[in-house]
Structure 1
Amino acid sequence: MSSKTATRDRILAVAPELLRRFTLSKFSMEDVARAAGIARQTVYKHFSTRDDLLITLFVDEMLENHAPKMAEVVSLPPSEENLLDVFMTELTLARAYPLFDEVLDPGMAPKMAELVFRSGRMAAAREQVWIPVLERYRDHGVLRTGLDLAATVRWISYQEYWLLTHPTVLCDDDQVLRAFVRDFVVAALVVPA
């Protein structure tokens, strides 16, 4: 492993603990540099901004942890119920993210929404996870034809984000939430019965 890769990995290793300790609103690149034992300029050589570092943490979590854990439910035969399971599994994994409380604090939700939905890297990672699922469901006649899949991924991401940042506004019971997701989110995507 090169020293450049080792330094980047060290930054990514210390950042989550700092987020837990300082919360998102007080998390700084200076804190990251100090915790990693490097100069602040070195942090900026790897991550152009604090937001760039945060997006990297989120994308890495999604691709390295969430996607593999979704593999079992994603591999189930395409059906409306199994598409619901894919959506609900991703919500469950997001809630279990070790930094969930820090990054999805309702006070920070507007800032995080801007960060997440304006990031091309985040959009590409979401598409990497979801487009193969949607293509498979479309090819099996479950998903409506003619949907712009990239736009569909963005819409799914928004629905999940809203449900994660407002967990009790719609309901405070997972079975009721599942029914809402089935009747409105999944129903908007699938071929009408």
Structure 2
Amino acid sequence: MTALPEPAETAADPDTRDRILRAGMDCVTRYGRAKTTMQDVAVAAGLSRATLYRHFVDRGALFNAIRDFERRRDTATITERAGRTTTLRDAVAVVAEVLAATGIRYRQGEHLAAGDESLARFLALRSGRERERVAAMVRPYVERAAAGGELRSGVSAAAAEEWIALTLSQAGSLSGLRSVDVHDPAALGGWLARMACAGVCARP
């Protein structure tokens, strides 16, 4: 199968870049990170390989751009929804649900269970950064909880933040759990919030 002909565009064309990113997301969802090729993405986007390479020099650059796109979208959603919560548990449930939804959309748990070594290596190498990213997401709500007396006696805001980040950082790649449906972002988010907050909140 070959890519469809497309009109001429410049490398800075944001519409074409967005088209490539969305095609890349679709391909990673279907084939997994390891099996997605630049040719797959070009065909899915209806573009030539030459156009694809004008925007992204290789698979790594494309995957990084997809990750950044998803993270910006997740952060915006979390900021908007968690900002309306009144308790730490509710805020954590929002963060966990959004992270889980992204992982479920990409079938991360399924791809890992099927032996996607490229994805496993990627997640392992970025585990520390992912915890830091999640910690930054929950920090405002942990600080609010500390100021409002929600945290258990003897639990500092820093400790609560680290524990919650550790718990939530795997939200998008869980599989095989018996006590919660890992394909339901809201159910998984609520479950993770209960588990995380039970250890740090006075009234979980």
Shorter-chain TM-score above 0.5: yes
Hey, what does 1:4 align to over in structure 2? 12
Cα distance between partner residues in 2 of 1:26 and 1:177? 29
Give the equivalent residue in structure 2 for 1:118.
Answer: 125
1:37 paired residue among 30, 44, 48: 48
Q: Which residue of 1 aligns with 2:36?
A: 27
Alignment RMSD, CA only? 4.1
The offset of 1:123, in angstroms, is 5.1
Matches of 1:177 and 1:97, distance apart in 2: 12
Name whichever of 26-35 and 11-20 sits farther off. 26-35
What are the within-5 Å matches in structure 2 for residues 20-169 of structure 1? 20-34=29-43, 35=45, 36-39=47-50, 41-45=53-57, 49-50=59-60, 53-65=62-74, 67-68=76-77, 71-77=80-86, 82-97=87-102, 100=105, 102-105=107-110, 106-108=113-115, 111-116=118-123, 118-119=125-126, 122=130, 125-143=133-151, 144-145=155-156, 147-148=158-159, 151-152=162-163, 154-158=165-169, 160-161=171-172, 164-169=173-178
1:132: Cα distance to partner? 2.0
Residues 94 and 189 of structure 2 are in contact (CA less than 8 Å); yes or no, is this contact kept in structure 1?
A: no
Q: Does 1:190 align with 2:201?
A: yes
SS of corresponding position for 2:156: coil
Give distance in 2, aligned partners of 1:177 and 1:69. Answer: 12
- For the 8 Å contact 1:73–1:85, the answer to whether it is kept is yes
Higher helix fraction: Structure 1 or Structure 2?
1
Structure label with greater radius of gyration: 2
Q: CA deviation at 1:153?
A: 5.4
How far did 1:185 drift? 1.7
In the superposition, the TM-score normalised over structure 2's length comes to 0.61
Q: Shift in Å at residue 66 of structure 1?
A: 5.8
Aligned mates of 2:170, 2:136 — CA distance in 1: 18
Q: CA deviation at 1:140?
A: 2.3
- 1:118/1:75 Cα in 2 relative to 1: closer, same or farther (>3 Å)? farther
Describe the shift of the 1:117–1:18 C-alpha distance in structure 2 as closer, same or farther (beyond 3 A): same
Question: Contact 1:142 / 1:191 at 8 angstroms: preserved in 2?
Answer: yes
Alignment length (residue pairs): 182
Select between 173-182 and 3-12 the one with higher mean Cα deviation.
173-182
- Report the more deviating stretch, 92-101 or 19-28: 92-101
Letter in 1 for 2:114: G
Rate the CA distance shift 1:15–1:49 in 2: closer, same or farther, 3 A: closer
Unaligned stretches of 5+ residues in structure 1:
none
Q: Percent identity?
A: 18
